[in-house]
A and B are shown apart, each in its own frame.
Chain A
Amino acid sequence: MIKRLIAATSIATLCLVSGAAAAEKVEMWVRSGIGDAFKKVVEAYNANHENQVVATEVPFSELVQKYATAIAGGQAPDALSMDLIYNPAFAAAGQLEDLTDWAKALPYFNSLSPSHVRLGTYQDRIYGLPLSVETSVFAWNKDLYKKAGLDPEKAPATWDEITANAEKIRALGEDTYGFYFSGGGCGGCMIFTFTPLVWGAGADILSADSKAATLDTPQMRKAVDIYRNMVKKDLVPAGAASDNGANFLTFTNGKIGQQSLGAFAIGTLVTEHPDINFGVTLIPGVEGTPSSFAGGDNFVITKGTKKIDAVKEFLEYVYSVDGQKVMAKYGSLPTRGDIADKVLEGLDPRMQVGLKAIGVAKTPYTLQFNDLINSANGPWASFTNAAIFGDDVDGAFSSAQSEMQSIIDSGQ
C-alpha cells in the first residue's frame, strides 16, 4: 500500500522532471551551521554550468533523521553533504550509490583526504567522498586580549593560561566574557570542541574497538573540572547552559575572549566579521598536548537517483583547483592533498592552523554515533550538561558511563 503510494509519487515526480529543460537540476541537502564554503561553491558552479545545483539547508541536528525518513518516503534529494561519521551506517543500509569505479578512476583519488575515504568505505566499496574537511581549533579575540592587558600575539598553550586570561577578560565588563562553549544540549558541539582536551592527554571516551565506554578517566575528570571552574567563576555566558548548538558561533559577537571553534569559522569570521581581530591555535589537552577533531562532510549520492552524471559533474568541479579555492576562501580546508599548498596560497595564514590540526586530530569510529554522541538526548550530551553545569559530578559520570555501555551492548 505504502510502497505503491511511494511509487506513484515518484512517477509523478519523474513526469514533472522529464518535462523540464535538458539542463538538470540537482537537489542537494547540506547541514546548516557549518559555514559558507558549500553554499559559495554551489553559487560558483551554478554561475558557469548548464546544470544547476539546488542546495537546501537542513538543521545539522536533524539532518540524519530527515534524510532517513526522506529515503523511506521516496523523497530523498539526489545527493547529500553528510557528516562523515554517519557514512558507514547509511552505506550499510544500502541506501547510497556505489561510487567505487568512478572514484578510483579520478586522477587525484589517492590524494583525497584519507580519513574521509576511510569513513566513506564499507565492505571495500566506496559510498562517500570528501566534500569538506573540518578540524577544531582554539580562537582568541586579540582586541579583548589587548584591552585586558594580555599579549594579543601570544597563543595560550595550557588551560591554566586560558582560565587566567578568561578571568582578566571577564573583568573588562558586564557583557564581556572570557570563554564560551555550546554545552547545554549539543553533543555534536562538545565532541568537536571538548574531547580534544582528553584526546591530547591520551584518553578517549570509547575503547579503540568502540565496544566499551571509557568515559570515566582521570583526564576527563580534569577536563570537566576546568570547564566547571570557568562556569562557576562566571567566565562563561549563562546562555551556554541551554545552548543546543544554535549559538555555536557566539564568538562572532566580539564579546567572547576565547572559544574552541571549527576551522570553518575562520572563513566565516574573515568574510563576514572582518572587524573581529582574532588568533587561532590548536586546542590544548588537559596536560598541554594539543589535539583536534577531524571531521567534515562526505559527499554521498542517494541510491537510484536519475541524475547521477550531473551529480558527478558537480563533484568534479568541487575537486578542481577553482572549486577548492572557493571552498578554502570560505573556510573549508583543502580535500585534495596534492594541491593543498596551491589552494591555500594567498589565503588567510590562520587557515594553516586548521591544516596543522589534521596532523594531531582524531575521528571517532562507531556505527552508533547518533545514539551515543550527537543526539540531544544521548548519554554524551546529557553527560556534558550534567557534569559541567549540574550538582552531582560523580552521578553524571556513572550514569553516562552505564547508559553509553548499554546502548553499545544493545546495538549487537
Chain B
Amino acid sequence: MTGSGLPRQSSPRRRRRSQWRGLAYIAPAMALVIVFFIMPVLFTGWMSLHNWPLMGASRWIGFNNYFRMYNDSRFITALNFTAYYTVIVTIAIFSVAFPLAIFVEKERQFVSAYRTIIFLPVVVGLATASLLWVWLANVDSGFIGPALKGLDLVAKSPNLLATFDTAFLTIVVMVVWKIAGFTMIILLTGLQAIPAELNEAARIDGAGRWQRFVHLTLPLMRKTIALALIVSVTGSILAFDQFYIMTAGGPQNKMISVVYYIFNQSFVSFNLGYGAALSIALLAILVAISIVQLWLLRAGEDHP
C-alpha cells in the first residue's frame, strides 16, 4: 500500500524518509478510516457475539448469532432477492448508461445541455427520489397511472406499487433514472481517454464503426467498465432506501433487501446483536464479490 514494492533506485535511507513522509500525508485519511470504519467494524463484530437488545443489558452468546443465520429463511429470501435485484439493476443501468455515454461523447449541438439533463437526477437524494416516485406512481393522485388512463392506454389507472412485478419495475426504472447519469460520467471519462489517433489509424486500416467499437473501444474501456460495474454492484447489494420508502418491503414482504432485513432485526425486533452478525456476514459477502471482480479485472490485464 505504501508503494514499497516499486523497483525504485534510491538509497535505503532516503527511501525510509520518503516512506515516513508518505505516511504523514495519508495520516489524516488513515485516522478517518480508523475512527469511522475500522472501529465501528470491530465494535459490530463484538456486538455480534452478544444477545444485545436495543434496551436492557447484553449477554455474551459466542457464535450463536452466526449459527442462527443458517436456519433463517427470511435472511435467505432477502439474500436471494438482493442478488436478483443487483443483477437486474446492474444490467439495466449499464445498458442505459453506455449508449448515453457514447451519445454525449461526440461534440454535437447542445451536448453539454444533454450531459447536464442526464446527470441532474444524480444530485437528488435517493430518499427524495423515492418519495417523488411514490407520488408519480400513486394510483389516484399521481402521474403515471392517471396519465396512462388519460391517454386511453388502460381502462383503469393501475396501482403500480400493489403487485410485485409492477412495483419492482417501478423501482428499477427509478434507480436507473437516478443512477444512470453517474455511470454515464464514469464511462464518458473512459471514452475520452482513448487517444483519437487510435481510432483514426483503425479507420484508415478500413475498420468499420462496429469493428472499431468491438476491437478498439471495448478492450480499452475494460478498466472503466469494471469500475462502473463494481460501483453498481456494491451499491445495489447495499440497497435499502427505495424499498423502505416506496413499498415498505411489500407487497407481501417480497421486496426486503439484506440491509432492510438487518434494519428490521435491529430496530423493529430490537435484536442488535443478530443485526450486527448479519452486517458482518454482508460485509464478508461484499468483500468476496469485490475480490472476485478485481481479480477478473487483473486477469484480463496480462493479455489485452
* B268 (CB) vs chain A CBs: closest residue: A375
Asked if B56 contacts A242 (CB within 8 A), the reply is: no
**B103 within 8 Å of A by Cβ?**
no
* Cβ distance B163 to chain A, nearest Cβ, rounded Å: 8
**Cβ contact within 8 Å between B249 and A377:** yes
Task: Using known A-B contacts A238-B139, A370-B268, A371-B269, determine if residue A93 contacts B248 with beta carbons closer than 8 Å.
Answer: no
Residue in contact with B248 in the complex, picked from A65, A241, A244, CB distance below 8 Å: A244
On chain A, the residues within 8 Å of B156 by CB distance are 238
Interface residues on chain B, size class = 20 to 34
Contact A386:B53 (CB < 8 A) given known A239-B138, A377-B264? no
Cross-chain contact of A382 among B55, B253, B260 (Cβ < 8 A): B253
A238 touching B248 by the CB < 8 A rule?
Answer: no
- A389 within 8 Å of B (CB atoms): yes
Scoring B residues 19 to 59 as 1 if CB is less than 8 Å from chain A, else 0, what string do you get? 00000000000000000000000000000000001111000
- Say yes or no: B55 contacts A371, CB within 8 Å: no
Tell me, yes or no, whether A9 is within 8 Å of chain B by CB.
no
* B252 and A382 contacting across the interface, CB-CB below 8 Å: yes
- Contacting pair B158 A238 (CB below 8 A): yes
Across chains A and B, which 8 residue pairs bring their CB atoms closest together, nearest first?
A241-B162, A93-B55, A238-B159, A376-B248, A65-B267, A242-B161, A185-B250, A238-B139
Contact assessment for A239 and B270 in the assembled complex, using a CB-CB cutoff below 8 Å = no
Shortest distance between the CB of B206 and any CB in chain A (Å) = 57
Instruction: List, in ascending order, chain B residues with CB within 8 A of A244's CB.
Output: 248, 250
The 0/1 profile, CB within 8 Å of B marked 1, for residues 362-398 of chain A is 0000000011000111000110011001100000100
Contact check, B248 vs A185: say whether CB atoms are below 8 A apart: yes
- Judge whether A185 and B247 touch: CB under 8 Å: yes
- Please pick, from B54, B140, B158, the residue contacting A72 in the complex, using a CB distance under 8 A: B54
The interface centre, meaning the residue of A238, A241, A244 with most chain B CB atoms within 10 A of its CB, is A238
The answer to whether A95 touches B55 (Cβ under 8 A) is yes
Report if A184 contacts B (CB, 8 A). yes
* CB-based nearest B residue for A61: B248
- A247 to B, closest residue via Cβ: B140
Asked whether, in the complex, the Cβ of A184 is within 8 Å of the Cβ of B251, the reply is yes
The reply on A192 being an interface residue by CB < 8 A is no
* Interface residue? A208 (CB, 8 A): no
Between-chain CB contacts (< 8 Å), 12 pairs:
A65-B54, A93-B53, A184-B250, A242-B159, A242-B162, A244-B248, A244-B250, A371-B268, A376-B250, A385-B250, A386-B251, A389-B251
Known: A69-B267, A244-B250, A390-B251; 19 extra A-B contacts, CB below 8 A, are A65-B267, A65-B268, A65-B270, A71-B55, A93-B56, A94-B55, A95-B55, A175-B140, A184-B162, A185-B249, A237-B139, A238-B140, A238-B158, A239-B159, A241-B162, A242-B159, A377-B248, A389-B162, A396-B252
Question: Which residues on B sit within 8 Å (CB–CB) of A17?
Answer: none
B251 CB contacts on chain A under 8 angstroms: 184-185, 241-242, 385-386, 389-390
B54 near A68 with CB under 8 A, answer: yes
Q: In the assembled complex, which residues on chain B have CB atoms less than 8 Å from the CB atom of A396?
A: 252
How many Å lie between the Cα of A69 and that of B167 in the bound state? 30
Choose among A239, A381, A390 the residue that contacts B140 (Cβ–Cβ < 8 A): A239
A90 is an interface residue with CB less than 8 A from chain B: yes
A220→B54 CA distance, assembly (Å)? 34
